[in-house]
Amino acid sequence: MPHDQVSNRVREKRNNLGLTQDQLAKLVGISRVSIVAIETGRFQPTIETALRLSQALETGLDDLFQLRGEKK
């Protein structure tokens, strides 16, 4: 089930760093399938995983995940 209230920029940030889904998954300690589910919005990560993603993607958590309709 999609999480309509939260959007993310995981794919964009991953691509900007030239990482594959598999490489990012290994950096974060989760499966590639989980990365796919997060990128497509089918799964929301735990706060621990979200923090690990932000570290691996060299960006702030608030830059990676946003509430839909939230103004920057």
pLDDT for residue 37: 97
**pTM of this prediction?**
0.88
pLDDT at residue 72 greater than cutoff 60: no
Per-residue pLDDT of 10-52, as tens digits, reads 999 999 999 999 999 999 999 999 999 999 999 999 999 999 9
pLDDT over threshold 60, residue 2: no
Residue-wise burial string across 24-62, b where 16 or more C-beta atoms lie within 10 A, e elsewhere = bbebbebeeebbeebbeeebbbeeebbebbbebbebeee
- What integer pLDDT is reported at residue 5 of this predicted model? 87
| Sequence-separated (6 or more) residues with CB below 8 Å from residue 23 | none
Res. 69 pLDDT band, cuts 50 70 90: confident
Q: How far apart are CA 8 and CA 47, in angstroms?
A: 14
